Amino acid sequence: MSRANTKQAKRWVVKIGSALLTNDGAGVDCNAIDSWVNQIAELLSQGKEIVLVSSGAIAEGMARLGWANRPDSIHDLQAAAAVGQMGLIQIYESSFLRFNRKTAQILLDHDDLASRQRYLNARGVMKRLMDLGVVPIVNENDTVVTDEIRFGDNDNLAALVANLIDADVLVILTDKDGLYDANPDHDPTAQLVTEAKATDSSLDSLVGESSSQLGRGGMVTKLQAARLASSSGCNTIIAGGRNNDVLIDIASGKSIGTLLKAHQKPIAARKQWLAGQLQVKGKLVIDDGAIEVLVRHGRSLLPVGITSVDGTFGRGDLVSCVDLRGIEVARGLVNYSVEEARKLCGESTSSISKILGYKDDDEMIHRDNLVLSS
């Protein structure tokens, strides 16, 4: 995807961060929301499909409750989300109604996308809403979510939504103009990275943690999101949300922000779902021969290639396959429990029945249930 090809991108996911939505914590910025909605309405009139991923519920709740600092207590965070979500959605709904556009609120947590059935239900309803001309507004369900099932930040959520609906482009609007080669807050010579491959490892040294008390993400999570979105062939643009007509300019093909290009063609929908899972139950350490089989030949993982097992998992759980240095090579749905997998490490397929007294599958992970890491 080049800048010029952005004009042809039909299906968009637009993510707006907390600092932008709340004017750095002062409360929901209605004028800013009106500006983004004006632009989204224009894109919709051009025939584009838009899903909006909006942060800001906790930040708005904090402002309404008079809290200057983000609380640590999970119940305080959930309370802030519950209070803030009301105002946030009301403002979006009123703003879109100026253009006779209907909106729909969709709250997700990790369990919604970890379950294959619920994943397909979410995919189906979002596509149907877009068919109806409705703008889905997605947020993490912070009112009930816990750290154990949290996406981590709305950048990752936006990438998962991009994969979910087969988006052409993910636009992450932030309080910076894009990804820089140094911290622009401290280095006046910092240069904007205008274009790169999402998988370019040299980008890792350019990102740092967030200094904001409002959101959980920083530029590092935006890079992670771009890499996750690229698994479905979706390109990512990180751009300054306070720039006038930023979405219109992106749609016209102007060089705005940082374009992070997808590294591969879209993978099958089932493997997109697997790639999007953020939590694994265990780890299989595999040898060089197994890596060769998985990466170069696209085959299944057999017990003979496993050197050790870690974690707590059962049949059908998601596990990570790592090399001897601990670097993830692939992940997939395992056919045997952790106790069974430990017994089968390094053993041939023909020995499974003798070792366990039964054999459910020849493979530890079948190739149809396995996806290679970026």
pLDDT digits (tens, 9 = 90+) for 99-150: 999 999 999 877 777 777 787 788 889 999 999 999 999 988 766 655 543 4
pLDDT digits (tens, 9 = 90+) for 46-80: 999 999 999 888 888 888 898 888 888 888 988 98
What's this model's pTM, rounded to 2 decimal places?
Answer: 0.75
- Residue type at 312 in one-letter notation: T
Domains of the chain: 4-272 (3.40.1160.10), 280-372 (2.30.130.10)
Specify the range with the lowest mean pLDDT, choosing from 10-14, 196-200, 306-310: 196-200
Give the pairing type, strands 282-286 and 306-311.
Answer: antiparallel
pLDDT for res 61: 86
The conformational region for residue 279 under phi > 0 = left, psi -120 to 50 = alpha, else beta, is: beta
**Is residue 83 pLDDT above 80, yes or no?**
yes
93 C-beta neighbours (distance < 10 Å), count:
16
Structure tokens at 241: 């949300």
d(CA 51, CA 161): 8
Start-to-end C-alpha separation, the chain: 19
pLDDT for res 24: 67
pLDDT for res 361: 87
Specify the range with the lowest mean pLDDT, choosing from 38-42, 200-204, 267-271: 267-271
Find, among 188, 178, 163, the residue nearest to 246 by Cα: 178
> Residue-wise over 117-156: b if at least 16 C-beta within 10 A, else e?
eebeebbeebbebbeeeebbbbbbbbbebeeebbbbbbbb
Structure tokens at 92: 């979006």
Could you tell me if 113 and 279 are in contact, meaning their C-beta atoms sit under 8 angstroms apart? no
pLDDT for res 212: 46
Strand segments (E) across 20-168: 49-54, 103-108, 135-140
Using a pLDDT cut of 90, give the percent of the chain over it: 47
**Is residue 171 pLDDT above 70, yes or no?**
yes
The model's confidence at residue 217, banded by pLDDT at 50, 70 and 90, is: very low
pLDDT for res 265: 65
pLDDT for res 274: 73
- Residue type at 140 in one-letter notation: E
- Percentages of the chain per state (helix, strand, coil), in multiples of 5: 40, 20, 40
**Is residue 276 pLDDT above 90, yes or no?**
no
Average pLDDT over residues 274-296: 86
pLDDT for res 146: 54
Could you tell me if 17 and 57 are in contact, meaning their C-beta atoms sit under 8 angstroms apart? no
Burial class (CB in 10 A: 0-12, 13-18, 19+), 328: middle
d(CA 220, CA 296): 30
3-class DSSP state of 185: coil
pLDDT for res 64: 87
Contacts of 75 (CB under 8 A, 6+ apart): none
